[in-house]
Amino acid sequence: NAGVTQTPKFQVLKTGQSMTLQCAQDMNHEYMSWYRQDPGMGLRLIHYSVGAGITDQGEVPNGYNVSRSTTEDFPLRLLSAAPSQTSVYFCASSRGGGTTDTQYFGPGTRLTVL
Amino acid sequence: TQLLEQSPQFLSIQEGENLTVYCNSSSVFSSLQWYRQEPGEGPVLLVTVVTGGEVKKLKRLTFQFGDARKDSSLHITAAQPGDTGLYLCAGARTGRRALTFGSGTRLQVQP
Of A86, A89, A109, which Cα lies nearest the Cα of A17? A86
Kind and range of the H or E run holding B100:
strand B100-101
Residues from chain B that touch A10, judged by Cβ atoms under 8 A, are none
CB-CB neighbours of B82 under 10 Å? 9
Inspect the interface and report whether the beta carbons of A42 and B48 lie closer than 8 Å: no
- Candidate from A33, A35, A103 with C-beta closest to B45: A103
Using the CB atoms, write b or e for A65-104: b if 16+ within 10 Å. Answer: ebebeebbebbbebeebeeebbbbbbbbbbeebebebebb
pLDDT in tens, B83-95: 999 999 998 877 6
Q: Are B24 and B100 in contact (CB under 8 A)?
A: no
- Residues A37 and A87: their CA atoms lie apart, in Å, by 6
Give the CA distances from residue B5 to residues A27, A82, B17, in Å, rounded to whole numbers and listed in that order. 32, 28, 24
Q: Please answer yes or no on whether B45 and A92 come within 8 Å at the CB atom.
A: no
Query: Which residues of A fall below an 8 Å CB-CB distance to B?
Result: 4, 33, 35, 40-45, 48, 50, 58-59, 90, 92, 97-100, 102-103, 105-108
**Residue B101 is inside which H or E element, if any?**
strand B100-101
Q: Would you call A83 helix, strand, or coil by DSSP?
A: helix
Per-residue pLDDT of chain A (114 residues; tens, 9 = 90+): 789 999 999 999 999 999 999 999 999 999 999 999 998 778 999 999 999 999 999 989 999 999 999 999 999 999 999 999 999 999 999 987 667 788 999 999 999 999
Q: How confident is the model at residue B1 (pLDDT cuts 50, 70, 90)?
A: low
| pLDDT for position B93 | 74
